[in-house]
Amino acid sequence: MEMVRSHILVCAGTGCTSSRSPEILEALEKELAQQGLDKEVRVVKTGCFGLCALGPIMVVYPEGAFYSMVTPDDVPEIVSEHILKGRIVTRLLYQETVVDDSTIKNLNHTKFYEKQLRVALRNCGVINPEKIEEYIALDGYEALGRVLTSMQPQEVIDVVKASGLRGRGGAGFPTGMKWQFAMQSAGDIKYVCCNADEGDPGAFMDRSVLEGDPHVVLEAMTIAGYAIGAHQGYIYVRAEYPIAIHRLEIAIAQAREMGFLGENIFESGFDFDIELRLGSGAFVCGEETALMTSIEGNRGEPRYRPPFPAVKGLFGKPTILNNVETYANIPQIFIKGAEWFSSMGTETSKGTKVFCLVGKITNTGLVEIPMGTTLREIIEEIGGGIPNGKKFKAAQTGGPSGGCIPAALIDTHIDYENLTAIGAMMGSGGLIVMDEDTCMVDIARYFLDFTVDESCGKCVPCRIGTKRLLEMLDKIVEGKGTVEMLDEMQELCNHIKDNSLCALGQTAPNPVLSTLRYFKDEYMAHVVDKKCPAGVCKDLLSYSIIAEKCKGCTACARVCPVGAISGVVKEPHTIDTDKCIKCGACIEKCKFDAIVKV
C-alpha cells in the first residue's frame, strides 16, 4: 500500500454536504495537486463526526487538528500553512481544542466528546463509507466470519440475549428474544428487515449510520439471517435520504463482489442477500407491520397483532425487523463479547444510545452516550447548555410519540424504564431541547398536528380521536378554550391510547399528556387568563410600546408591514392593536427594548 504522511478527513454526511463539503473536497484535491502534495496526502470522504453545529468539518492527521465551519476559500490556507509548512491554522480550529498557538487538545478531551462512548457510531467520521477495504481494516466482517464458521444459530441468539441489547427503534423489546421467536417459527422461507425509515422531526440517527458506515448494517443483517434461518433481507429506507441510498447501493455491490453477500458466504454453505426498498415518507411506515405491508407493494397500513411478525410477517412468512442503530451494535457484540456490551449502561438498559441533540442547544449534533447518563450531562456538558443566556425549560424525547421532560427532572438517568416512568419514551433517539421562550401548549399542538397528518386513517380512535384532540388544542391557543376542555382532553387521550390499532395512535397523545402533567399552569393561563406566558400564541398576544423607553427613532414604524405604528420623530410612538398582525418585526428592529408583548 502506498504510504502517505498525512490524512485529511472531510465530513460528507448530509449536514456538511448541504454546507458545501463537496466543494471543499474538490478544492482540496485541486490545491494538493497544484502544490505537488497529492501523492503524500490522502483525502478521505467520511460520514458524520457528530458536532453538526460546526460543520463543515475537516480533521487533519497525524496532528488531529479539528477544523470547523470550513469553506472552500479556506482550503488554500490550510494546505499551504498546515500541510506544506506544518503550521496549524488556529483561527479555523474548533476553539475548545485550542490550548495555545502551538498546542491543541485531543478531541476526546473536549466537553462534547469526553462523555460519549461510540459503539454504533464507531466508524462514522473515521472511514470512507464507499470503500469496503476501510471497513474491513477496522474488523469489518470479522464477526460474520466467526459466526458462520464456528457458531450454531442458537449460539448466535444466545450471545445476543446475553448482551442485553434491546431494540433502539421504539419500546426497547429484547433483540435476542425477537430473533429466538423467529428462529422457532416453522417455515422454509423467512425474512430479515431493517427499518431505516426514521420520520421523527429533528431525527437523523439512522441516516448518519447509513451514510457513515453502511457495511455494519449489511453484516449485522446477514448474522441475523443465519441465526433465524433466513436467506433474504430488505432495507426499507426513505427516498428522502439520497446519500444514504447511494452509499447502501455501493456497499451492497461491494459486499456481493467480495463474497460477503450472495451464495456460500465464507464457504459455510449459507446464502443471504439484501435488497433496498424505498419508502415515500409516510411516518406510519415506521411501524413494523405497516413497513412490511409497504414492502409488499401495498398501501402502508398497520395490521392487527397477533400474529406478530416473528410468526407471520413479510409476505406472510416469519420475519424479524430491527432498526439501523440496533443492527449497528451487533458486529461489535460478537467481536468484543456479550459481557463487554452488557458492562455498559444500566441493569435493565444495556449499552449505549444515539441521540440527535437539536433545538435550543449550543452544540446541535449526533451524540452516543452510555445508558444511564443524566439529561443534565447531555444538555449542560455535551450540549454546551442553552444559548443566549436562556433557561432550560423542557426536553422532548421519542419524537411525536414521546413526552416532554420538565426542567425539574433534568437529573433523570436516561434509560427505557426511567423515561417511561416520567411519561416520556426513548423512541428512536430524537432529543429536542426547549428554553423559556417555548410555549408547551403550542409544542403539544405542533406534534399532534404532525401525527394527525401522518395517521393512515385505518382505525377510528386514531383517525377521529387525534383530530378532535387537535381541534381542542387549536381552540386553546386561539383563546377559546375552557377549563372543562382540559378534562375532556385528558379523557380523550386515554381513549386513543387504549384503543388505537398501532403504536402511532397509541402514543400520539403522549405530548399532550406529558405537558398537561408537568405544565398544567401554562394550560390554565391559556384558558383562564387568555394569555400565553411564553409569548408564542399570537391570538393571545398584543404589542405595546413603553413610552419611557421609546426614543421616537421611527425604526419600528418604518419596518411595520401594515402601518400599525404611528408617532412623530423624537416622541413616543403607539401601536394600533386592531391593525397589528403580531409579526414581531418591530421588536427585532427596536434598539431600546421599548416594545413588549403583553
Q: Is 532 a domain residue? A: no
Give the whole-angstrom CA distance, residue 300 versus residue 292: 8
- In degrees and rounded to multiples of 5, residue 281 shows phi and psi of 100, 15
Give the whole-angstrom CA distance, residue 436 versus residue 400: 20
CATH number at residue 451: 1.20.1440.230
Last residue of a domain, one of 73, 107, 141: 107
Q: Is 123 a domain residue? A: no
Strands 232-238 and 270-279, bridge-based pairing: parallel
Q: Is 127 a domain residue? A: no
Nearest to 23 by CA among 520, 112, 31: 31
Mean pLDDT score, 45-60: 96
Claim to verify: residue 179 and residue 290 sit in the same structural domain:
yes
Claim to verify: residue 156 and residue 237 sit in the same structural domain:
yes
Last residue of a domain, one of 501, 527, 553: 527
Predicted confidence at residue 556, as pLDDT, reads 95
Claim to verify: residue 411 and residue 445 sit in the same structural domain:
no
Claim to verify: residue 305 and residue 329 sit in the same structural domain:
yes
The answer on pLDDT for 266 being more than 90 is: yes
Radius of gyration of the chain (CA): 27
Claim to verify: residue 418 and residue 357 sit in the same structural domain:
yes
Predicted confidence at residue 212, as pLDDT, reads 97
What are the pLDDT digits (tens) for 71-109?
999 999 999 999 999 999 999 999 999 988 778 988 888
Give the whole-angstrom CA distance, residue 362 versus residue 111: 12
Claim to verify: residue 497 and residue 569 sit in the same structural domain:
no
Q: Is 113 a domain residue? A: no
Q: Is 122 a domain residue? A: no
Claim to verify: residue 332 and residue 375 sit in the same structural domain:
no
What are the pLDDT digits (tens) for 380-433?
999 999 999 999 999 999 888 889 999 999 999 999 999 999 988 888 888 999
> What is the band of 2 on the pLDDT scale with cuts at 50, 70, 90?
low
Burial class (CB in 10 A: 0-12, 13-18, 19+), 498: exposed
The answer on pLDDT for 37 being more than 70 is: yes
Predicted confidence at residue 392, as pLDDT, reads 97
Predicted confidence at residue 45, as pLDDT, reads 97
Helices 324-336 and 205-212 pack at an angle, to 10 degrees, of 60
Say how many domains are in the chain.
5
Q: Is 482 a domain residue? A: yes
What are the pLDDT digits (tens) for 169-181?
878 999 999 999 9
CATH number at residue 415: 3.10.20.600
> What is the band of 329 on the pLDDT scale with cuts at 50, 70, 90?
very high
At position 210, the amino acid (one-letter code) is L
Claim to verify: residue 424 and residue 520 sit in the same structural domain:
no
Mean pLDDT score, 8-20: 96
Predicted confidence at residue 421, as pLDDT, reads 93
What are the pLDDT digits (tens) for 181-222?
999 999 999 999 999 998 888 789 999 999 999 999 999 999
Q: Is 462 a domain residue? A: yes
The answer on pLDDT for 1 being more than 60 is: no
Last residue of a domain, one of 341, 371, 399: 341
Q: Is 115 a domain residue? A: no
Predicted confidence at residue 581, as pLDDT, reads 92
562-587 burial, b at 16+ Cβ within 10 Å, e below that, comes to eebbebeeeeebebeeeebebeebbb
Claim to verify: residue 468 and residue 576 sit in the same structural domain:
no
Range of the domain at 552: 542-597
Nearest to 247 by CA among 222, 211, 278, 274: 211
CATH number at residue 549: 3.30.70.20
Claim to verify: residue 267 and residue 139 sit in the same structural domain:
yes
Claim to verify: residue 329 and residue 420 sit in the same structural domain:
no
Give the whole-angstrom CA distance, residue 240 versus residue 260: 28
The answer on pLDDT for 471 being more than 70 is: yes
Claim to verify: residue 186 and residue 322 sit in the same structural domain:
yes
